[in-house]
Chain A
Amino acid sequence: MSVIDLVPYEEALASYDPVMGLEVHVELGTKTKMFCGCATVPGAEPNTQVCPTCLGLPGSLPVVNAIGVESAIRIGLALNCDIAEWCRFARKNYFYPDMPKNFQTSQYDEPIAFNGYLDVELEDGEVFRVEIERAHMEEDTGKSTHVGGATGRIHGAEYSLLDYNRAGIPLIEIVTKPIVGAGDRAPEVARAYVAELRELIRALGVSEARMDMGQMRCDVNLSLMPKGADKFGTRSETKNVNSLRSVERAARFEIQRHAAVLNEGGTIVQETRHFHEDNGTTTSGRIKEEAEDYRYFPEPDLVPVAPAREWVEQLRGELPELPRLRRQRLQSEWGISAVEMQSALNAGAIDLILATIDAGAPADQARKWWLGELARRANEDGVELAELPITPAQVARVSALVAEGKLTDKLARQVIEGVLAGEGGPDEVVAKRGLAVVSDDSALGDAIDAALAAQPDVADKIRSGKFAAAGALVGAVMKATRGQADAARVKELIFEKLGVTPE
C-alpha cells in the first residue's frame, strides 16, 4: 500500500465540499433473535445459542420476532419516518462464512421506515437537520476468529473459527440521505448525528446502544466534489467505526485522503476501508460489490409485514419524550447554558445527574460532581462515566454530607476517591478514613488558641476591625487540623474568642 501525503484539513475544505452518508447498525436488545427463539445473552459459550433456523439447516423456517418489528417501527417514528403499510424481507445473497445460510435476511426495496429526519445539535448550539433515507430490519452475522498469521486479522490467517451465537440477532440499519452542505463541520455533524441517534435509541429502550460492545456500529460513506459542483464524487465506505470520536476522525481522515488523491489527478476507488483506532487512519479493504451482485429477492419463507395503522398510531402516541426536547427542558429546569448542557451530554452525564437529583441532591451539586471530579476520573481511567464504580445515590450522599457541614469539598473528593477504590459507601469511607470535618468546638479550641498565640499581630488587627485578616488564622487552623476543620465554624470561633462581631 502506498503511503499518501494527506492534504491539510483546511486546505482540503477550501477546494472541496464533502458529502457524507452514514449507515448505523443498531443491535436490538430483544430476548431472542430476529427469526428464531434462540437467546441473545452476550458472552455465552460459543455456539450455545443457535438452532436449525439460524444455522440455515434444511427444513427450518424463520418466524419474525414481534418485538423486533415493533422496535423498528418505534425507531422509524422517532426519526420522523413514514411507516410502510406493507413490506417484505429480502435475501441478500453472499458467500462468506459469517452467515451459515449463505444469505442475510434483510430488507431491500421495501424498508419498514423511510423518509425521515433527525435534528442534531452541534457544540455551539447550531442545529443541523440530517435527512433519513430509510430504516430497515435485518439480522446480525456470526463472529469470526482468525487463526494463524501475525496479527489475528484475516490477512495471512490460515483458517477461521466461527461462532454463530450472534448470527440472527435483530439489527436495525438506519441510512441517511446524502449529507451535503456541512462543509468543514462535516466530521462534527457525523459525530453529533451518531451521538443523537444513540441517545434516541436509548430513550426508546430498544437497545443499550453501547458502541464499545458493538451494539451500535457506524459505516461512514464519504466523497468530495469540487466546490460549486453538483455531481457527487466517488465514495469510500469506512466500515465499523465504533466510537463517537472515531466517527469524527474517520470522516476527517477520509476528507484529507480524498483531497490528496484528487489533487494529484487520481481517482477514488469505490471500496470499503478499515478504520484504525490507534492512529486514526483508514486502509483499503475490499472492492465494493455491486448491489446486483447480492441478487436480492423477496424472502419466500417469511410473509409480508403490514403494520395496521392503528398499531402505528398507538406506538406513535407512546413514544417517550425525545432526547433533544428532553435536554431543552432539563436545561431550563437546571438553569444552565446550551454549552453546559452539551458538555453534560458529551460526558454521558445527563441520566446520572438526573438520578443524583432524584436521590436528593440539588441540581448544581449533582452537575458539579459528575462533570468535575468524576468526569476527570473517568477520563483518566478511559472509561464511560456510567462505568465508574459509584452510584448516583452515593454521589447524592456525598453532596448531603457537604451540605450538612460534615465534609468540606476537599474531604468530599477524598470520600469519592475511597468509594471509587472500593472502600465502601460514602459513610463507610468517612468512618474508615477518619475524614469527618472537625467542627467540634472543643477540638478546634486548642488549634485556635495556638494560632492566636502564634500570630498576636493578626489578632490585634482583627480586634481593630480588620476582619479580613482572620483568613491567616483560619489557614493556620486548617493546616493544624490537616484540612478537616469546618472553615466557617473556625472563623466564627475566632471572632467569638476575640470578642468582635463582624458586619
Chain B
Amino acid sequence: MPGITREEVAHLARLSRLELKSEELDHFAEQLNDIVDAVARVSEIAAEDVPPTSHPLPLTNVMRADEVRPSLRPDEVLAAAPAAEEQRFRVPQILGED
C-alpha cells in the first residue's frame, strides 16, 4: 500500500483550512501512515464473507415523527461562539472565495 505523501497532507490541510509548517507536513504524513497501517490490519482479518459495515448494530429504519421539539435559546446557541453580532455567529472573512 502506497504511503501518504507530504503533498497529500498539504492538500488535506488546505481542504481543512489548516496552516501547516513544512516540518509539520512530514510529521503528520508519518503519523497518518501509522494510522492507515493500523487500520489496514482489519482487512487482514476481514475475509470476503465479511461485508464492510459503517455501523456496529444490526439496526435499520430508526426514524422520528415529524414533531417539533424545543430548540435552544439564542443566548445558549451563541454561548460558545467566539464572536456574535445581531444574534448571528460572526466569522472571519471567508478566504479563497469571490
* A298 and B68 within 8 A (CB): no
Given contacts A94-B15, A97-B89, A162-B91, contact A304 B63 (CB under 8 A): no
Residue A155 at the chain B interface, CB threshold 8 Å: yes
Q: A65-B63, A161-B86 are in contact. Are A47 and B77 (CB under 8 A)?
A: yes
A67 contacts B15, CB within 8 Å?
Answer: no
Q: Which residues of A contact B71 (CB under 8 A)?
A: 38-39, 48-51
* A300 and B91 form a contact (CB under 8 A): no
**B61→A65 contact, CB < 8 A:** no
Nearest-Cβ distance from residue B36 to partner chain A, whole angstroms = 14
A306:B66 contact, CB within 8 angstroms: no
Q: Is A50 within 8 A of B63, CB to CB?
A: no
A35-77 contacts to B, CB under 8 A, are 36-39, 45-52, 55, 63-69
State in angstroms the CA–CA spacing of A284 and B87 once bound together: 32
The smallest C-beta distance from A20 to any residue of chain B, in angstroms, reads 25
Q: Assess whether A427 is interfacial by the CB under 8 Å rule.
A: no
Complex CA gap A158/B93 in Å reads 5
Q: A48-B74, A162-B89, A163-B88 are in contact. Are A32 and B68 (CB under 8 A)?
A: yes
A193 within 8 A of B: no
The answer to whether B1 has its CB under 8 Å from any CB of chain A is no
- Choose from A38, A64, A162, A285 the contact partner of B63 (Cβ within 8 Å): A64
Contact call A300/B69, Cβ cutoff below 8 A: no
Smallest beta-carbon distance B15→chain A, Å: 6
Q: Which residues of A contact B61 (CB under 8 A)?
A: 303-307
Interface of A is mostly: loop
Cβ B63 vs Cβ A47 within 8 A: no
Contact status B93-A38, CB under 8 Å: no
Per the 8 Å Cβ criterion, residues 49-70 of B in contact with A are 54-55, 57, 59-70
Contact of B94 among A52, A97, A285 (CB under 8 A): A97
Query: Chain A 145-189, CB within 8 Å of chain B: the 1/0 string?
Result: 111000000110111111110000000000000000000000000
A299 on interface, CB distance cutoff 8 Å: yes
- The reply to whether B87 and A39 contact each other, CB–CB distance below 8 Å, is no
B73, closest chain A residue (CB): A48
**B21 on the interface (CB 8 Å rule)?**
no
A86 on interface, CB distance cutoff 8 Å: yes
Residues of B within 8 A of A144 (CB): 94
Bound: A339/B52 CA distance, A: 54
Which B residues touch A93, using CB under 8 A? 15
| Residues in B whose Cβ lies below 8 Å from that of A51 | 69-72
CB pair A46 B88 closer than 8 Å: yes
Chain B residues with CB under 8 A of A161: 85-86, 88-91
Is A31 among interface residues, defined by CB-CB distance under 8 A?
yes
In the complex the two chains form, what is the Cα distance from A145 to B94 in whole Å? 11
Contact yes or no, B98 A286, CB < 8 A? yes
CB–CB A88/B77 < 8 A: no
Partner of B57, one of A64, A96, A155, A303: A303
Contact between B98 and A38, CB atoms less than 8 A apart:
no
- Taking a contact as CB atoms under 8 Å apart, the answer to whether B72 and A31 are in contact is no
Residues of chain B contacted by A304 (CB below 8 angstroms): 55, 60-61
Q: Is the CB of A63 within 8 A of B64?
A: yes
Say which residue of A36, A68, A158 sits within 8 Å of B69 (CB atoms): A36
Specify the chain A residue showing the minimal Cβ separation from B59.
A303
A-to-B contact residues, CB < 8 Å? 30-32, 36-39, 45-52, 55, 63-69, 86, 88, 93-97, 100, 144-147, 154-155, 157-164, 284-286, 289, 293, 295, 297-300, 302-307
30 contacts between A and B (CB under 8 A): A38-B71, A39-B68, A45-B87, A47-B77, A47-B78, A47-B87, A48-B74, A50-B71, A50-B72, A52-B72, A55-B77, A64-B63, A65-B64, A65-B66, A66-B63, A95-B17, A97-B91, A146-B94, A159-B90, A160-B91, A160-B94, A162-B89, A286-B96, A286-B97, A298-B54, A298-B55, A302-B62, A303-B60, A303-B61, A303-B62
Residue numbers of B with Cβ under 8 A of A are 15-17, 54-55, 57, 59-72, 74, 77-78, 85-94, 96-98
The 4 closest A-B pairs by CB, nearest first: A37-B69, A298-B54, A161-B88, A66-B63
| Extra pairs beyond A47-B74, A48-B74, A159-B92 (7, CB < 8 Å) | A39-B68, A45-B74, A46-B88, A47-B89, A160-B94, A284-B98, A285-B98
